[in-house]
C-alpha cells in the first residue's frame, strides 16, 4: 500500500513537470489570443506588456504557478535546489514588478507601489536572471543522473542533447536581445515585436526541456525484474 502511494506521488510530480512545460510554451500564445479576442488588442511588443492588459491575471498567475513549482522542486544535487530557488525568486520578481508601459508614466505600479522606472529596472533584471538560470538548469543540471558514474541509456543521451540544445537556444536568444538593444532604436524593436519573438523562442525551449524532463519524450523503458 505504501509503495502504491509513493508511486502516485512520483507520477503526480512528473505530471507537474509536464504541465509546467506546456504552460510555459502556451504563455505567449494565450496572451496574444486573449488580448485579441476579448480586448481587440494588437500584438504587444513583449509578453510582459500583457501585464497592462486584460491578460494580467493570467500572466501573473502563471508566473506565480511556475515559480511556486520551481521553489519546491528537488533535484539530485544541492546546486539544483539553489538554481531552481533562485529561478523562482526571479520569476516572482517578473510578476510583481511590472515593465514600463509608457515613458511618460509616473503613477506607482505593482504590489509595492514603486515608480514605473524602478519597477521596470527590477523587471528586466529578474527576467534576464530567470531565463539565464533556466538555461543553466537545462544545460548543467537536467543532464545529471540519479546515480554518479551510472551508465547512460540511449534515451538518456538523447535527452541530454535536447537539454543542452534548449539551454543554448535560451542563452543565444538573451545574447541576441542584448545585441538588438545596442544596435537598434527601441522604437524599431517594438515595431517588429522582436522582444516578443525571442521571448517566445526562449519559452518554447524552456517548455520542451521540461516536457522531456517530465518523461513525455524519450523516457527510459522500465526495467523488467
Could you tell me if residue 35 is inside a domain? yes
Over residues 86-93, the mean pLDDT reads 96
In a domain, 156, yes or no: yes
pLDDT tens, position by position, 114-167 = 999 999 999 999 999 999 999 999 999 888 876 666 667 888 899 999 999 999
**Predicted local distance difference test score (pLDDT) of residue 9:** 55
Pairwise CA distance, residues 40 & 54, whole Å: 10
The pLDDT value given to residue 8: 60
Q: Is residue 220 in a domain?
A: no
CA angle 100, 166, 45 (to 5 degrees): 25
List C-alpha distances in Å: 115 to 21, 49, 104, 122: 33, 16, 11, 11
For residue 179, tell me if it sits in a domain.
Answer: yes
| Domain assignment of residue 75, yes or no | yes
Q: How buried is 131 (Cβ within 10 angstroms: 0-12 exposed, 13-18 middle, 19+ buried)?
A: buried
According to the model, what pLDDT value does residue 144 have?
82
Please tell me the predicted confidence (pLDDT) of residue 2: 43
What pLDDT is recorded for position 163? 96
d(CA 168, CA 191): 27
Residue ranges in 107-223 assigned as alpha helix (H): 116-136, 154-183, 186-191, 194-213
Q: What is the DSSP letter of 51?
A: G
Confidence of residue 87 (pLDDT cuts 50, 70, 90): very high
Inform me whether the pLDDT recorded for 6 exceeds 70.
no
Q: How many domains does the chain have?
A: 1
pLDDT of residue 1: 45
User: Distance from CA of residue 99 to its chain's centroid?
Assistant: 17
The answer to whether 11 and 215 have CB atoms below 8 angstroms apart is no
- Is a pLDDT exceeding 80 seen at residue 3? no
What integer pLDDT is reported at residue 11 of this predicted model?
Answer: 57
Higher pLDDT, 214 or 63: 63
Note whether residue 223 is domain-resident.
no
Q: Is 60 exceeded by the pLDDT of residue 224?
A: no
Return the exposure string of 182-200: e unless at least 16 CB atoms fall within 10 Å of the residue's CB, then b: eeeeeeebeeebbbbebbb
Decide if 224 is inside a domain.
Answer: no
Identify whether 221 is part of a domain: no
Q: What is the span of the domain harbouring residue 112? A: 2-213
Quick check: 123 and 97 in contact, CB under 8 A?
Answer: yes
Dump pLDDT digits (tens) for 11-57: 577 777 788 889 889 999 999 999 999 999 999 999 999 999 999 99
> Helix, strand or coil for residue 109?
strand
Q: What are phi and psi of 114, to 5 degrees?
A: -95, 170
pLDDT (0 to 100) of residue 222: 60
Amino acid at each position: 500500500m505504501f509503495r502504491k502511494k509513493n508511486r502516485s506521488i512520483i507520477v503526480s510530480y512528473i505530471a507537474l513537470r509536464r504541465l509546467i512545460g506546456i504552460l510555459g510554451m502556451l504563455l505567449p500564445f494565450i496572451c496574444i489570443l486573449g488580448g485579441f479576442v476579448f480586448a481587440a488588442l494588437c500584438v504587444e511588443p513583449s509578453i510582459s506588456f500583457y501585464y497592462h492588459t486584460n491578460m494580467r491575471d493570467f500572466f501573473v498567475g502563471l508566473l506565480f504557478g511556475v515559480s511556486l513549482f520551481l521553489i519546491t522542486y528537488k533535484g539530485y544535487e544541492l546546486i539544483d535546489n539553489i538554481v531552481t530557488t533562485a529561478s523562482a525568486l526571479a520569476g516572482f520578481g517578473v510578476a510583481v514588478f511590472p515593465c514600463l508601459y509608457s515613458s511618460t508614466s509616473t503613477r506607482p505600479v505593482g504590489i509595492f507601489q514603486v515608480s514605473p522606472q524602478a519597477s521596470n529596472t527590477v523587471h528586466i533584471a529578474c527576467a534576464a536572471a530567470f531565463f539565464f538560470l533556466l538555461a543553466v538548469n537545462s544545460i548543467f543540471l537536467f543532464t545529471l543522473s540519479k546515480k554518479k558514474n551510472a551508465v547512460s541509456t540511449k534515451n538518456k543521451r538523447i535527452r541530454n542533447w535536447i537539454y543542452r540544445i534548449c539551454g543554448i537556444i535560451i542563452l543565444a536568444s538573451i545574447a541576441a536581445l542584448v545585441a538588438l538593444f545596442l544596435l537598434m532604436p527601441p522604437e524599431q524593436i517594438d515595431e517588429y515585436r522582436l522582444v516578443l519573438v525571442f521571448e517566445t523562442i526562449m519559452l518554447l525551449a524552456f517548455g520542451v526541456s521540461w516536457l522531456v524532463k517530465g518523461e513525455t519524450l524519450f523516457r527510459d523503458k522500465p526495467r523488467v525484474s
